[in-house]
A = this chain, B = another copy of it.
Amino acid sequence: MNIGVLNSGGDSPGLNAVIEGVVGAASRRGWNVVGFYDGFEGLLSEEGDERFEWLTPAACRGLRAKGGTILGTVNKGNFAIKVGVDQKGAIEPAVLEKTKATVRRLGLDALIVVGGDGSQSTALLLSEIGLPVVGVPKTIDNDLGATDVTFGFYSAVSIVSESLDRLETTANAHQRMMVVEVMGRHAGWIALEGGIAGSADVILLPEIPFSLENVVECIKARKAAGQREILVVVSEGARLADELVLLDEKTQGEVRLGGIGKVIAKKLEEATGIETRSCVLGHIQRGGSPCSYDRILGTRFGSYAVELVEKRQFSCMVALRGTQMTAVPIEEAVKTLKLVDPDCQLVRTARDLGVCFGD
C-alpha cells in the first residue's frame, strides 16, 4: 500500500505529530507514505518538478516535538473550490487531471488530508475521482463539532495564558488596563479558555455580543474595589450587541479583523480614564513546539487515520470523543461549527470566577 499525507490551511501546533503518527502506523503495516509539500499543491507534481518526499519512521523520529510542519502548507491555491452556476462546488478539471496523473504515477491507494472544513470538502471532491480519503481535523480555534478537541488548541491556550500571566505583573505595577487580542474569528474558545487560565477580568467573544457600557461598568467597579490591574481578552471576531459595529476613527470604516483589540482599548481608556495598553498576540499563538497534550493528540489522530485506511472507512474524519478515537463522515463533520454556548458550564465557570462578558 502507498498512502499520501498532506496538510492544508493555516498551521497549527501538532501537524508534525500527525505526520509522525501516520508514518509510524503505516510503516508497522508495511506500507509506504508519501508526504506532499505545501498542501494540495504537492499533488500537482510533475517529473522534474516533484513536490513530495517518501517518509520513513527513522526520518520522522521525534517530529512530534517540532512546531510548524515539515511538509509546508498553504492557505489557498489551485484546489480552492469554485461554486458554479449549478450551485455545486468543483475543482478545476485541469487540476483534477493533473492530480489523477500523480495518483497513478505514485500508485497512491489512499490520501490522508489534515485540514479544516474547506480542505476536507476538497478532500471529498478528490474521493469522487477515485482517490479514497481519510480526514484529520485541523482548526486551532477548536470550533469543529465533530471532535471534542483539535490539536494545536491547547498550545494556543497556553500561550494566551502565559502572556496574560506576564501582562498581569506589568499592569499591576503601573495600574494599567491591558487589552489582548487573540485568535478566534467565529468561535471564541481560545479567548474563553485562555482567559480563564490567565485570570482575565473581561472576555469578549463572537458568541456573546457585548455592550461597551457593561464592560465599562464592570471595570469601574473593580477599580473602585481597589484592583490595580485590569485584563481584557478579545477574540478577533468579538462583536457588539444590537448589530452595532466598531468604527475606525480615521477611516470611519468597520474595524477589520486584527484591529479590534486596539479600538476597544481606546474606547475603554476614554470611558474609564484608566491608562490602557493593547497587544495583538498574533502568530506567536500558532508557533513553537506543541504542548504535550497536542503532541499526544496529534500522534493519536495520525495513527488512527491509518487504522481507518486499513478498515477502508473512507470519506471519514478521525475525532476524539471523551478518551476514545472515533470516525465521523466528513460530509457531516464539516457542517457543524462548534460555538461557545453562552449558557454552558464553561461560561458559568468563567462567570463564577468573576469574568465579565459584557452581556
Contact = CB atoms under 8 A, between A and B. Distances in A.
A166 interface: yes
B250 A169 contact: no
B174 A72 contact: yes
A277 interface: yes
B345 A303 contact: yes
Contacts of A349: 21, 25, 299-300, 303-304
A38 B354 CA distance: 27
Interface residues of A, number: 89
Interface string A1-45: 000000000110001000011001101100000000010000000
A288 B353 contact: no
A197 interface: yes
Nearest to A58: B225
A57 to B, nearest CB: 6
Interface stretch (A88-96, A232-240, A321-329): A321-329
Task: Describe A's contact surface by its main secondary structure.
Answer: helix
Contacts of A24: 352-354
Interface in A134-183: 148-149, 154, 157-163, 165-175, 178
A178 B283 contact: yes
Contacts of A160: 292
Given A73-B174, A291-B291, A325-B345, 9 more contacts: A28-B351, A38-B175, A67-B166, A165-B287, A167-B284, A169-B289, A171-B287, A193-B292, A197-B296
Interface of A: 10-11, 15, 20-21, 24-25, 27-28, 38, 57-58, 61-62, 64-69, 72-75, 148-149, 154, 157-163, 165-175, 178, 193-194, 196-199, 225, 228, 250, 277, 279-280, 282-284, 286-289, 291-293, 295-296, 299-300, 303-304, 306-307, 321-325, 345-346, 348-349, 351-354
